[in-house]
Amino acid sequence: IGLVLMVGYTFKDEVFIVKDRLAQQLLPSSPHKINDESVSFATTEKGHFYVDGKINGTEIHFLVDSGAS
């Protein structure tokens, strides 16, 4: 048990990175944190960016225009 805890603690940052990447692939509208100031979002099959957010407590599914057309 001690060895498992030690390995888990040693690779805790990598576990969070893998968790974020899996979440981004399964739910493209969920962010992948790059650093304290940046996040990235995966595109859908059609190349669109969708982001889930809230305005005044109301959840909204946004289509984000990157301006790259």
Q: What is the pLDDT of residues 2-21, one digit of tens each?
A: 888 888 888 877 777 777 77
Strand intervals (E) in 1-69: 32-33, 39-40, 49-55, 58-64
The Cα 26–Cα 50 span in angstroms is: 13
pTM, entire model: 0.49
Average pLDDT over residues 52-69: 85
Burial of 23 (0-12, 13-18, 19+ CB in 10 A): middle
Average pLDDT over residues 19-45: 75
